[in-house]
Copies of this chain bind each other. A is one copy, B any other.
Amino acid sequence: MTLKVSDIGEKELVRYIIANSKYITPDDTAITEFSSTNIISTCDMLIQSRHFPKNISYFDMGFKAVTVNVSDLAAMGAEPLGFLLAIALPKDLTIDSFKEIIDGVLKACEYYHIPLIGGDTNEASEIIITGTALGLTDKPLMKDTYNKGDLIAITGSIGLAALGFELDSLDNIYSKKALNPKARINEGLVLKDFATSATDITDGLASELYEIKKDNFGFMIYEDMLNITEEFKSLSCNLNLDYLDLILHVGEDFELLFTISKDNLEKLPIDCLVIGEVTDSDVVELTLENGFVERIKNKGYEHYVSE
């Protein structure tokens, strides 16, 4: 039986690529030392039928294509330098819709202070956007350079986008987060000088915790520190969804997950939510509201894996 990519999943494919390339640093972005600093580069491809909710506007598609890439710069504490836009469009797309996508891209570039510097246009059967973001930093903020005893924090509440994808209405904080999330670029620039590590939450908190986990280190997250509102719980319940599943295993909030020493937390000049701590347990766990401790499953959004 011939193995297919869906048999082994995205993470294994990435492992093959990394195993055969000696120049890839497996962090949120590529890091290229240059002069007395580092060029930070990252790319992300968004495919209409897979990455965009059905009710998203063309403008928000364009905006999000920038956001997902700038979020990786934020995770490295990088200063934005430039954005490249490779876009493929179906030939029966209207000019107005095309212009809305571009306007979304340009608005996002203005919002993040990242100039649109180049790109490529193509034809395809659906909208496909690959963005490349370039940045600079003298001190890249890696994803696994935390220490035992560090606190774990996030730059804002998570799970909102996950709930938003399930709602029909567009006019609420969850849907707005799902359709138009924002990268935490300014927070990243501050965290560079305070945090011990950082990554951005794209595939869910659980997924990111397992991404950054090193041998002999563990994470303890506390449900009652996640700032889960009664409204969130009740909306999830009404939809027959597990609110913890939405918070841990979906993602798309683009908040930064970072670790920080207690001392530095006191001096940190940005808002954040402390949600747990780095331990030596070698496992990833959640202390529920009722006091019980459970293992967090390594489950997040992964391409190819058969349902």
Closest to A122 in B: B45
Give chain A's interface residue range (CB within 8 Å of chain B).
35 or more
Question: Does A116 lie within 8 Å of B23, measured CB to CB?
Answer: yes
Q: B-facing mask of A16-29, CB < 8 A → 1, else 0?
A: 11001111110001
B-chain residues with CB within 8 Å of residue A306 when the two chains form the complex: 91
Question: Does B43 lie within 8 Å of A132, measured CB to CB?
Answer: yes
Question: Does A123 lie within 8 Å of B45, measured CB to CB?
Answer: no
B-chain residues with CB within 8 Å of residue A42 when the two chains form the complex: 84, 118
B-chain residues with CB within 8 Å of residue A10 when the two chains form the complex: 121, 123
- Does any Cβ of B come within 8 Å of A111's Cβ? no
16 contacts between A and B (CB under 8 A): A4-B94, A5-B93, A17-B102, A21-B117, A35-B35, A41-B118, A42-B118, A43-B43, A43-B118, A44-B86, A45-B128, A47-B128, A50-B124, A91-B306, A120-B130, A134-B134
B-chain residues with CB within 8 Å of residue A117 when the two chains form the complex: 21, 23-25, 30-32, 41
The 7 lowest CB-CB distance pairs between A and B, nearest first, are: A30-B118, A130-B130, A23-B115, A30-B117, A6-B91, A123-B303, A45-B86
Measured between C-beta atoms, what is the minimum distance from A108 to chain B in Å?
12
Question: Does B47 lie within 8 Å of A122, measured CB to CB?
Answer: yes
B-chain residues with CB within 8 Å of residue A2 when the two chains form the complex: 94-96
